[in-house]
Structure 1
């Protein structure tokens, strides 16, 4: 049960979009994938065609429902999604308080999916440090840190390298890796930052994703970049990242057949 956390020290880096397309790429290769949203913005579901007006999710019911898998939605194919859901401020605060104070809260909620054979879990987190990111440290197999090819990301690199995201190393299993997003060869600063990151991070850089308008257009259509523009540069780049993730975590590529779904309501 490989579990990948997608996070970033800053917002606006395309983190959720990358998490969704990583899920799509692994599913295309035959893995059963569960995408979990830990961000109150509740946007991950939109990448899988869940209607905007569908506000269901696990957070609002986390107190009364120990098994969060009951809130999983199926989106077709090999992908399932566990949305954050639409919640009140009081519900959000209570959820985060439980994450911070109860060391077993997260494991209890995810116990069913953590033990589901062959499932790959992609978890998307809000930017910066937070109780969910810290609570997941003990369960995750890998952390993927998304940065932009800009000077702001360079300035925030020490925050990750010096363990200031959660006060300790992000991952004690396979470690944390970086993805550089929206690299633009037409801009000098983007080229320079990309070269710097490649040299600084070495093998810890999973890949560079080039700026590609088809990604934004795919988002607007609630499709993966593979369905919207399979020959695009971004689709190629993300697929390379997915292959590196699969190799590091020894994810077995299946035959694409879908087995009986996890409990689902969509």
Structure 2
């Protein structure tokens, strides 16, 4: 059961969109994928065709429901989604308190899916040092840190390199990698930041996604970039990143069956 966390030190970097499209890319490769939303904005579900009026989720029921898998929604194909749901402020605070103070809370809630053979889990987190991100660091196999090709993200790079986001390394298994989003060769700043990130991060930069208007249009139609514009630059970039993630996780696909073996460092 490989578990990939997608996070960022800042908002507005396209993290949720990338999480969804990476899930689609992994599913296209033959994996069964569960996308989990840990962000109270509850937006991840919209990328998988869940109606905006459908506010079901696991957080509101987590206080008295130990198995969160009962809140999983089937979206078709190889993809499933576990939405955050519509919650009150009291429910949100209670959920975060449990994440921070009960060391077994997260593992209990995800116990069924963590033991599901061949399932790849990709989790989306709110920006910054959220309670969920801190709690998940013990379970995750890989962290992808999304940054933009801009000066704001560049200023936060030392914080990420020195493990200051949650006060300790994000990942003690396969490590953490950076993903650069919306690189635009037409803009000098974007081009310069991209070049600097490539030189500075080296192999820690798992890939970059070029700025592509098709992504915005795909989001508006609640479709993946692969369904909306399969020959777009963004589709090519995300497919390549998914292949690199699969290589790190040692995901093997063949004869319609998926097996996943976690490789330790």
Q: Is the 8 Å Cα contact of residues 59 and 87 (structure 1) preserved in structure 2?
A: yes
Q: Which position in structure 1 is the counterpart of 2:263?
A: none
The CA RMSD over aligned residues, in Å, is 1.0
Partners of 1:80 and 1:224 in 2: how far apart?
Answer: 14
Q: Is the 8 Å Cα contact of residues 14 and 181 (structure 1) preserved in structure 2?
A: yes
Q: Which position in structure 1 is the counterpart of 2:79?
A: 79
Q: Which position in structure 2 is the counterpart of 1:21?
A: 21
Q: Which position in structure 2 is the counterpart of 1:165?
A: 165
- Deviation at 1:254? 4.0
1:51-96, Cα deviation, whole Å (9 max, x unpaired): 0000000000001100000000000000000000000000000000
* 1:183-262 alignment, distance < 5 Å: 183-256=183-256
2:19 paired with 1:51 = no
2:11 paired with 1:11 = yes
Question: What secondary structure does 1:171 align onto?
Answer: coil
Unpaired segments ≥5 residues, structure 1:
259-266
Partners of 1:254 and 1:55 in 2: how far apart?
Answer: 36
Question: What secondary structure does 2:5 align onto?
Answer: strand
Q: Which position in structure 2 is the counterpart of 1:122?
A: 122
- Deviation at 1:162? 1.3
Partners of 1:234 and 1:181 in 2: how far apart?
Answer: 10
Partners of 2:256 and 2:137 in 1: how far apart?
Answer: 30
Partners of 1:255 and 1:223 in 2: how far apart?
Answer: 27
Partners of 1:216 and 1:29 in 2: how far apart?
Answer: 24
Question: What secondary structure does 2:252 align onto?
Answer: coil
- Deviation at 1:164? 1.2
Distance change >3 Å, CA 232–CA 256, structure 1 → 2 = farther
Partners of 1:250 and 1:148 in 2: how far apart?
Answer: 28
- Deviation at 1:255? 4.5
1:187-216, Cα deviation, whole Å (9 max, x unpaired): 000000000000000001010100000000
Aligned length: 258
Given the two structures, how large is their TM-score scaled by the length of structure 2?
A: 0.96
Q: Which position in structure 2 is the counterpart of 1:143?
A: 143
Partners of 1:143 and 1:15 in 2: how far apart?
Answer: 12
Q: Which position in structure 1 is the counterpart of 2:262?
A: none
Which aligned runs of 4 or more in structure 1 are off by greater than 6 angstroms?
none
